[in-house]
Structure 1
Amino acid sequence: MNVELGIFVERDGLPAVRLERPFAVGAEEVWRALTEPNRMAAWFPSPTVHIEPMVGGRVDFAGDPYAEDHSGTVLEYDPPRRLGYTWGDDELLFEIGRRGEGCVLALTDVLEGREAAARNAAGWDVCLDELAKLLSGGTPSGPHDGTATDWQARYDAYVAAGMPSGAPLPDGGDPG
């Protein structure tokens, strides 16, 4: 897929990456893909996710080959517009806005440290490509499948564009 790279931003003084994707479906359909466990399994890094649907609720993550199973806390829950929760040492914020007949999804990952920016942005690009397959009626294989977008190529593009890098990479790769 040919998509624009995400950008490095600050959110409340903390380093973050922000990615946007337009979709030809309504906000409610995107919301279901962000909150229903069977749909999240198609695109999210942890194939098993359960979200308690309220601010302060618990979020459980399991099955990510690059992370330990863990729990987070729902920080924002405003269907079908805003969803935020902690994810490891990061915070994820999903914002859905209407655009024409469809909508746009903005994902902001507030990072534990700047050096994770290129790594995480590349990972979210892969995940959002899988989400696009799901929402367009295709058959996503999940972000860890060999048929998913080439993470390394996306990471290299972020580094070349000047996105902060240097965090440990999946599979012990060299962060450059």
Structure 2
Amino acid sequence: MSNQANTDTRQHAWSDLVINALLFQVIWFIAIFGPWYLAVVPLLLLLWHYIKTSQSRFIDSMMLLVVSTYGLAVDSLMSLVGLFEFDPQQALFANAIPLFLPILWLAFAMTIHRSLYWLVNKSGWFILLCVSIGPLSYVAARSASAVVFDHQTLIFIVIEWLSIGFLCVGLNHYVDSGDSNDRR
């Protein structure tokens, strides 16, 4: 009986990881290739699922807040200094970042301690994928005219994703060290 219970738990956990990953992909594709506001619906579903599957609201809230704020701040700074250009109609007010960016950063942050957790624990691989796949997502967004930047800006995007990789690994290490039960 206990083997059946363990199997059910693993299957449930696996399905949660798949749901998390798929919702993130849906959000990314809608935000970049469609009208960004349609990404709000899957974002709300992802947030509901994130809360529903949370084992520690404190840890999940910290991960969500730190990762999304950091990514949004770096992208905002790169936009402010002129490395990125966005369609001004995508923003709430002049010289602001487009509204799809907070959606994307919130969605990405919700994958760190869920569908990407296994990879974050393999820190070298995670960082390597951050510095390759992260910039590729910006190139794809550029091809969809969601953002404009020149080729030289790619080095800054790689550095951004290198720092995000280290941030996520560091946060994950902090969360996994010590007794997480004290932070629940």
TM-score range, shorter chain: 0.3 to 0.5
TM-score (norm 1): 0.34
Compare the two structures and name the one with the higher helix fraction.
Answer: 2
- Higher-Rg structure is 2
TM-score (norm 2): 0.33
